[in-house]
Amino acid sequence: MKVSVQLDFLPVTADLAPAVHSLYLSCPTYIALIGGETPSLNDIRRELETLRQDTRRQAVLIRQGERVVGFLDYKVAHPDLHSATISLLLIEESLQGRGLGKAAVEQLEVLLKERMERLYAVVYGHNEQAKRFWERLGFEHLRDSGPNLSWYLKRLR
């Protein structure tokens, strides 16, 4: 059932690594799809540390009320000054298909609209569900770069 959704974006700091890790553990289908292993808590800590050193990179936990429902990793002023790029939107597996992913992207669009003209989404691997999701949200397939990355684009204004 679709729900009308109000979400909060909570910037991820190192102390939130366990929450990000739990979210990955709750998404086994996605992990299998990208052919990887679930990252360990230490992997997540290292990744968050790397992320902190790049001021353009933004990682947020997506919360509905007190509950963490997803994770969003994007970069502003990338690949050019007037664009932002989403590298990962992850919604907890048991909550997928209820409008949360769409609501998160719509909220991000509102946040970015004044500063950015374009929003890209980069889909890793053979993730056909994700490609359909981005197309459903009005993103156009732009190009494939290499065998594993598909770029999608939406103009924000």
- Judged by CB under 6 A, the residue of 17, 23, 60, 90 near ligand ACO is 90
- Judged by CB under 6 A, the residue of 30, 58, 61, 112 near ligand ACO is 30
Q: Binding to ligand ACO by residue 89, rule CB under 6 A?
A: yes
Q: Binding to ligand ACO by residue 119, rule CB under 6 A?
A: no
Q: Which one, 20 or 130, has the nearer CB to ligand ACO?
A: 130
Q: Binding to ligand ACO by residue 59, rule CB under 6 A?
A: no
| Pair 76, 116: CB distance under 8 Å | yes
CB 44, min distance to ligand ACO, A? 16
Return the SS3 of 59.
Answer: strand
Stretch that binds ligand ACO, among 18-26, 45-53, 107-115, 119-127 (CB under 6 A): 119-127
Looking at the chain, which runs of residues are DSSP E strands?
A: 8-11, 57-64, 67-76, 83-91, 118-124, 140-145, 149-155
The rounded distance, in Å, linking the Cα atoms of 26 and 21 is: 9
- Which residue has the CB atom at the shortest distance from ligand ACO? 101
Q: Which residues contact 76 (CB under 8 A, 6 or more apart)?
A: 56, 58, 84, 112, 115, 116
The rounded distance, in Å, linking the Cα atoms of 7 and 17 is: 20
Residues that bind ligand ACO (CB under 6 A): 27, 30, 86-91, 96-102, 121-123, 127, 129-130, 132-133, 136
